[in-house]
Amino acid sequence: MVEGAYLIVKCPQCGQLILSKRSKTRTCPHCGHRFLLSRSMILARASSSLDAAELIREMKMKNKQL
């Protein structure tokens, strides 16, 4: 798999963290908002879905501590 094939972005509507493969658009599974990935801030990249899921867990834990 290509390095960074999975992206972690924040939904511009509800702010939830979303895991996405490289594509043009994504629909948020939390609020249903459809948005362009090219206009989204990429928070992290991962080479596998397992690595991406771990990154999301770490980001959520950091936010809870703030």
- pLDDT score, position 36: 94
50's enclosing H/E stretch is: helix 49-65
- pLDDT score, position 64: 77
Domain ranges in the chain?
6-65
Place of tokens 């459809």: 34
Write out residues in the chain with pLDDT < 50, as ranges: 1
